[in-house]
Chains A and B, each alone.
Chain A
Amino acid sequence: MRQDIPGTTMFDGDQAQKGLALNRMCYSFNSAENRAAFLKNEEGYCGQFGLTEEQRAAVKSRNVLAMIAAGGNVYYLAKLAGIFGLNVQDIGAQQTGATVDQFKEKLAAAGR
């Protein structure tokens, strides 16, 4: 598959293989009990799911672009972001280097 859309990572077989452990951990966050366990002992929880060093560092830094580079899929990462009370405007702002207000304004501007 061509990979030439700027600012876009196709979640393909390469990404899926790379991100399996990270995405599996995020999938576990469908359970409130698991979300609480993560908050209680983040590093231990990441270890339990066998995250790579790159994935652990990305989670620790809360950096969504780094999580995507480490194979994270955005639908799964959104479950992780939810634990920190972040919605898709918050993570959109973070990924584009904007404030949340600037990001929301960009969305609104697309409709004008």
Chain B
Amino acid sequence: MAKIIGGVATTHVPSIGKAIAENKQNDPYWKPFFRGFDYVHYWLAREKPDVAVVFSNDHGLNFFLDKLPTFAVGAASEYRNQDEGWGIPVSRAIAGDPALSWHIINRLVADEFDITMCQEMLIDHAVTIPMTLMWPGETWPVKIVPVSINTVQHPLPSLKRCLSLGRSVGRAIQSYPQDLRVMMVGTGGLSHQLDGKRAGFINKEFDKLCMDKLVGEPEALARYSIHDWVEQAGAQGVEFLNWIAMRGALTGQVSEAHRNYHIPISNTAAATVVYDNRDEAARRAA
């Protein structure tokens, strides 16, 4: 049976892609962010995932505002990146796992999540940057199942709904017969605002509260409205929807193995967390 080993959440700011291309990981500006990945690399080498389910939001590469699904699940054998118009390097393609994708899709719809199914899907920096941060080498050791959440055009799905979506994905994976080690990834955030006279808004205290609560008490965060989230975390801080979905998919005993938080990267409070997920059977055996 497939096993959910844990999750990683990280900021996906486009300029990180530029910093990687220009080898700036040790520059004073970038180092406090990149060094947060030393533990992530150790964890991935130890846990050896086969597949990553990646919750992220598209920024106008695969979807335009004319047809914008609230939730979309990729079911392709390969996911390509393309020019996003921001001068960041185009990433190499990442392999998919269509059989697992369709299993998740079938289970989500059976669970009354009326998602959009994508047999073709371009992945933007919200997928490729976290993947490159986790695996800086030449090849990807994992396949992915991308799950796209609308964080761009209101009305957005609620935090509660995204937590439930994640839980449904977690249950789907637990019922998958193949022996796969599956990790969850949530991308974006934390607090930031790019637009309007409030541009540059960052809320360190709220970010800390979010990271503190997400591990053991995600329901407390799921009570916030989107409006209140924008107020507390900034207009683009709503990317936390990807984080809470990732957390929801961790269905066992969850603990925080690592946390790195640094202000600023670009206009954003940059955060990286690693969660371990011990399933019930492992807990009973221990």
A residues with a Cβ closer than 8 A to B are: 1-2, 5-13, 16, 19-20, 23-24, 26-27, 29-32, 35, 64-65, 68, 73-79, 82-83, 87-89, 91-92, 95-96, 103-104, 106-108, 110-111
Known contacts A20-B65, A75-B60, A79-B86; A95/B199 CB under 8 A: yes
Task: Say what secondary structure dominates the interface of chain B.
Answer: loop
Kindly list chain A residues whose C-beta atoms are within 8 Å of the C-beta of B86: 78-79, 82
**B154 lies within 8 A of A12 (CB):** yes
Query: Smallest CB-CB separation from A96: which chain B residue?
Result: B199
Q: Could you tell me the distance in whole angstroms from the C-beta of B146 to the nearest C-beta in chain A?
A: 18
Known interface pairs A29-B85, A30-B84, A108-B263. Does A75 touch B59 (Cβ–Cβ under 8 Å)? yes
Q: Are A10 and B202 CB-contacts (below 8 A) given A30-B83, A89-B266, A95-B195? A: no
Q: Which of these, A13, A24, A88, contacts B266 with CB under 8 Å?
A: A88
B82/A30 in contact, CB under 8 A:
yes
Partner of B83, one of A8, A32, A74, A91: A32
Contacts A/B (CB < 8 Å), 6 sampled: A7-B199, A8-B196, A73-B60, A79-B60, A110-B263, A111-B263
Shortest Cβ distance from A79 into chain B, in angstroms? Answer: 4
Tell me if A78 and B196 are in contact (CB < 8 A).
Answer: no
Which residue on chain A has the smallest CB distance to residue B122? A30
Complex: A82 Cα to B60 Cα, angstroms: 14
A111 to chain B, nearest CB (A): 3
B98 adjacent to chain A (CB < 8 Å): no
Given A7-B196, A82-B85, answer yes or no on A87-B155 (Cβ-Cβ < 8 Å).
no
Residue in contact with A6 in the complex, picked from B66, B155, B197, B236, CB distance below 8 Å? B197
Taking Cβ atoms with an 8 Å cutoff, the residues of B that contact A are: 15, 59-61, 64-66, 82-87, 152-155, 193-200, 202-204, 227, 230-231, 235-236, 262-264, 266-267, 269
Partner of A107, one of B87, B197, B235, B263: B263
Contacts of B199 in A (CB 8 A): 7, 91-92, 95-96, 103
When distances are taken between beta carbons in the complex, the residues of chain B under 8 Å from A88 are: 194, 266-267
| Closest B residue to A31 using CB positions | B83
Residues on B with C-beta less than 8 A from A8 are 193, 195-196, 198, 230, 235
Cβ contact of A75, chosen from B152, B154, B197, cutoff 8 A: B152
Give every chain A residue within 8 A of B198 (Cβ-Cβ).
Answer: 5-8
